[in-house]
Structure 1
Amino acid sequence: MNIAIDGPAGAGKSSIAKIVAKKLSFIYLDTGAMYRTTAYYFLKNGLNPSDKELVESKCDDINIEIKYEDGAQQVYLNGENVSTEIRNEEVGNNASVVAAYGKVREKLVSLQQSIAKSNDVIMDGRDIGTVVLPDAELKIYLTASSKERASRRFKELTEKGVACDFDKIEQDIIARDEQDMNREISPLKQADDAVLVDSSYMTIDEVVNRILELTEERR
């Protein structure tokens, strides 16, 4: 069985998907981590992620592996574990940039579909239900207001001791929404057969339980 969760940045897709995967004993596949890893490759090597021609010419130099170690997903770039490095704001913002390029998407979507064919998978991203897993048994479009998403991100960074500005975080989230929804290839949108879940006023447990109920209905 495949479950697709789409939605904008900061909606809680990864956190929710990880919990649901654990409860269902499914594999959780964080597709956003793959795009972050691609962006990180260029930033790490001093190359401009906004240069489409350059990015597409270097795609074959990037080898991304998803491994599960002690029950947690680890992301490897050319043999190096970069699970922590890909989580900063600069990498996240540039992930949306490289995700708009055809060759990048082609390479990563192929990898994602291959994993889903032979496993019970819950996958989250921007175009899972519309492009990557169009035949998924359950599709969720998880969203929340930009203010709520910024509040969650602000809290997360503050708890880690990272100095940050709430207004700047919200501006970045709105900019990423704009970029993701208006890109030429596989824009972020709710699949026609996806169930809308607005988590603005829901707890994590409430969202998880809602998805578990829907999963039971589709089995």
Structure 2
Amino acid sequence: MNPANVPVLTIDGPSGSGKGTISRLVAEQLGWRLLDSGALYRAVGYAAGAAGLDLSDEEAITRCAQTTRIQFRAAADGGETHVFVNGHDATDELRTETAGAAASAIASVPSVRHALVAMQLGFRKAPGLVADGRDMGTVIFPDAPFKVFLTASSAERAKRRYKQLKEKGLSVTLATLQREIEARDARDASRAVAPLKPAEDAVLIDTTGIGIGDVVAKVLAVVQR
């Protein structure tokens, strides 16, 4: 099938809005492929950190984006997809706030974004694709027939992240997480390249105080209608 004819559902939104969980569940329901674009940027940020690169060195970070090997492997038990960076299973490291901050920093570099575009477009294969990110509906798949933008209050998103990180045994504070989330929101929304914003034709869904099952149903309704 011509990739242009493969249906795409984009699910964009800020950190902690539930994109990852909702995208995975919706992709399972539809039987479609899944693209976690944020993991690509986190992977490059992780690789850059492992190599001791300065995140402000755009030339070095771009080379890193061009050469880093990123692989997604489904878990044998059907759980969380594992992300391998240059052969190393970096799944847990990529979910930390440090990795998130690094991803946000390098995502503002045009040459880094350009280096990862082809990789993201390559996920568009039959029978369909659920693309999770921040600019999936506005930049990467502007022709997608189905677009959703998830959001939630910063306090709600901080609570969700706090719970996730505590379950992984990490030491964090709720107040610090909320400050980091709000700072990242401001950085992502104000960057010159692909700023975080809903596509004009996206359906906005506020997930504050809504259960996962209800959000999944709302997103599926966008496709099924």
Q: Do residues 98 (structure 1) and 101 (structure 2) align?
A: no
Q: Report the equivalent of 2:12.
A: 6
- What is the root-mean-square deviation in Å for CA atoms of aligned residues? 1.5
Q: Report the equivalent of 2:73.
A: 67
Name the stretch that deviates more: 159-168 or 139-148: 159-168
Q: Do residues 176 (structure 1) and 184 (structure 2) align?
A: yes
AA paired with 2:24? K
Deviation above 6 Å: which 4+ runs of structure 1?
none
- Match among 31, 36, 54 for residue 30 of structure 1: 36
- Match among 175, 195, 202 for residue 194 of structure 1: 202
**Distance verdict in 2 for CA 1:106–1:201, change over 3 Å:** same
Q: Report the equivalent of 1:128.
A: 136
Q: Do residues 45 (structure 1) and 14 (structure 2) align?
A: no
Task: Give unmatched runs, 5+ long, in structure 1.
Answer: none
**What is the alpha-carbon distance in structure 2 between the residues aligned to residue 85 and residue 167 of structure 1?**
21
Task: Give unmatched runs, 5+ long, in structure 2.
Answer: 1-6
Encode CA deviations 1:143-183: one digit per residue, 9 max, x unaligned.
00001000111122223332211111000000100111111
TM-score (ref. length: structure 2): 0.91
**1:118, CA displacement in angstroms?**
4.5
Encode CA deviations 1:159-210: one digit per residue, 9 max, x unaligned.
3332211111000000100111111111111100000000012111110001
Percent of aligned pairs with the same amino acid: 40
Q: Do residues 150 (structure 1) and 150 (structure 2) align?
A: no
**1:110, CA displacement in angstroms?**
1.2
Q: How many positions carry a matched residue from both structures?
A: 217
**What is the alpha-carbon distance in structure 2 between the residues aligned to residue 155 and residue 63 of structure 1?**
30
AA paired with 2:42? R
Q: Report the equivalent of 1:76.
A: 84
TM-score (ref. length: structure 1): 0.93
